[in-house]
Amino acid sequence: MALSGPVLVVADEDSAVREALAAGGNLPFRHAAAAKAAAAVVDARPSAVILAPATADPDHTVAQEVADAVDACGGSIIPILGIARAEAPPYPLALPVAAADIAQRLVPRLRAALRVRALHVALLRRIELLADPADVPDTVDYDPIEDATVLVAGRGRNYPALTVAIGERMGLIGALALETARSYLAAREVDGIVIGDGFNRAMVEDFLNELGADPRWRDMPVVMPQGGAPLDPERLPNADAFGGGPEAVAAHVLPFARMHAFAARLKRVAASLDQKGTLAPDTGLMTHAAFMAELNRVAATAEARGAGLSLARLSFDTLLNRRASLDAARITGRLLRASDIACRDEDGSILIAFTETDLVTAHVVARRIASVLKHTTLSLGAERTRLGPTVALAAFRPRDTVETLVARTIDHRLVAAE
């Protein structure tokens, strides 16, 4: 992988890191003492930073100085990896690599992080080359962990505590069976997997083999108990066998989930650029303005040809948390037919236009989408209640305008999800 800068190793003495990088091939690196780490970041403009201090850094003083220097560099992301030692707590912004696993896992994990950096670099280059600023989507710059969702699979006695620890830090999907976890992977945007206790070794090994064989899940973070199925660092570079309580597991998976969610955000922005800014980077659906413009065009075509056009609004009885609302919108995007268009409205509801579709057919399709949302989307908080959407339907009439069609979906909730 071509690098725009060296890999900066922050260590007083750590031959194991340097040996692993040297064995990794085309990974030029530069060494810096912990006391001069921040200055070295500014000077070297590295592609990545590896924190490997010889002594414990319990207050994360060095790590925070490095992170501040990385932020000051601006531009594309500079991944930070941290060598995790038993005597020091993990730094929450660094991808941890166990000191005992440096030779096997450091380089594959570094390359996975550099793939995210390469995606970011390519995206920034595309934005710079755009002639029309209007084609640049409204990019978002909040912490990606606000978008992250982690799938927790387990059925042992530690499962409830594990879901609470994960759910307090990021979005949560719970599964009591690995078969259920597989279905969620296909239907949801998942940024990490935590496999708890309650599954035998063969079941976990089959599940990991499926993940490793599918390019979509190559960089998926996976945390499983120690002593379980073997892990291949080349096929699953962000997978770890980790021992610790629920709080420690949640802290361990957090930086991986943040990085994966950031990569997913970059891909949505890239898709928006492909569509000249008509897609919203936070949902993957059309922006409200682009949706209304397209709906006007579709309505004119329907009126001229006498074709069917139906509109559905999916709304929720409870006040949606932002993360849950975006999650519902992204799930909807996966369920739409190729001919349908959709957007997330300002109030968090979801508008879907079914082109060439009569009201009866639209009713059936909308109920299916609402049912999936009800059974896969949870609100945040201690109660973790399901979000049961209701659906308002309206069909385009000869004397309708787009405004009157949309207005009829606001007050008329015709069917609830089952």
pLDDT score for 415? 45
| Domains of the chain, start order | 7-129 (3.40.50), 144-253 (3.40.50.2300), 283-416 (3.30.70.270)
Per-residue pLDDT tens digits for 132-190:
666 666 666 778 888 899 999 998 888 999 999 998 888 888 888 999 999 888 878 89
pLDDT of 291 higher than 60: yes
Residues of the chain above pLDDT 70, percent:
88
pLDDT score for 328? 85
Bridge-partner residues for 350, per DSSP? 314, 344
SS3 annotation, the chain? CCCCCCEEEECCCCHHHHHHHHHCCCCCEEEECHHHHHHHHHHHCCCEEEECCCCCCCCCHHHHHHHHHHHHHCCCCCCEEEEECCCCCCCCCCEEEEHHHHHHHHHHHHHHHHHHHHHHHHHHHHHHHCCCHHHCCCCCCCCHHHCCEEEEECCCCCHHHHHHHHHCCCEEEEECCHHHHHHHHHHCCCCEEEECCCCCHHHHHHHHHHHHHCHHHCCCCEEECCCCCCCCCCCCCCEEECCCCHHHHHHHHHHHHHHHHHHHHHHHHHHHHHCCCCECCCCCCECHHHHHHHHHHHHHHHHHHCCCEEEEEEEECCCCCHHHHHHHHHHHHHHCCCCCEEEECCCCCEEEEEECCCHHHHHHHHHHHHHHHHHHCECCCCCCCECCEEEEEEECCCCCCHHHHHHHHHHCCCEECC
pLDDT score for 416? 42
pLDDT score for 134? 64
In 3D, which of 141, 133, 119 has the Cα closest to residue 276? 133
C-alpha angle 195/200/205, rounded to 5°? 65
pLDDT of 36 higher than 60: yes
Residues of the chain above pLDDT 90, percent:
42
- Report, as an integer, the average pLDDT of 179-207: 90
pLDDT of 229 higher than 80: no
pLDDT score for 360? 92
Burial class (CB in 10 A: 0-12, 13-18, 19+), 135: middle
* pLDDT confidence bin for 48, thresholds 50/70/90: very high
- Report, as an integer, the average pLDDT of 1-12: 78
Q: Which residues contact 10 (CB under 8 A, 6 or more apart)?
A: 32, 33, 34, 37, 40, 49, 50, 51, 52, 53, 62, 66
- Report, as an integer, the average pLDDT of 313-333: 77
pLDDT score for 321? 63
Q: In whole angstroms, what is the distance from residue 23 CA to residue 26 CA?
A: 9
Per-residue pLDDT tens digits for 391-416:
899 999 888 889 999 988 886 544 44
pLDDT score for 412? 54
Average model confidence (pLDDT) across the chain: 85
pLDDT of 418 higher than 90: no
Residue pair 301/316 in contact by the 8 Å Cβ criterion = no
Write out the two tokens for 59.
């207050």
Among the residue ranges 246-255, 334-343, 380-389, the one predicted with the least confidence is 380-389
pLDDT score for 139? 65
* Cα-based distances in Å from 410 to 21, 49, 214, 388: 59, 51, 42, 17
pLDDT of 124 higher than 60: yes
Amino acid at 159: Y
- Report, as an integer, the average pLDDT of 49-69: 81
C-alpha angle 384/389/395, rounded to 5°? 170
CA atoms within 13 A on the CB side of 115: 15
Write out the two tokens for 241.
């066998």
pLDDT score for 383? 46
Amino acid at 273: L
* pLDDT confidence bin for 54, thresholds 50/70/90: low
Residue given tokens 């943040």 in the structure block: 258
Write out the two tokens for 152.
């927790």
Residue pair 211/184 in contact by the 8 Å Cβ criterion = no
* pLDDT confidence bin for 238, thresholds 50/70/90: very high
Q: What is the pTM of this model?
A: 0.87
Strands 149-153 and 192-195: parallel
Residue pair 142/262 in contact by the 8 Å Cβ criterion = no
* Cα-based distances in Å from 293 to 225, 341, 393, 408: 51, 11, 20, 18
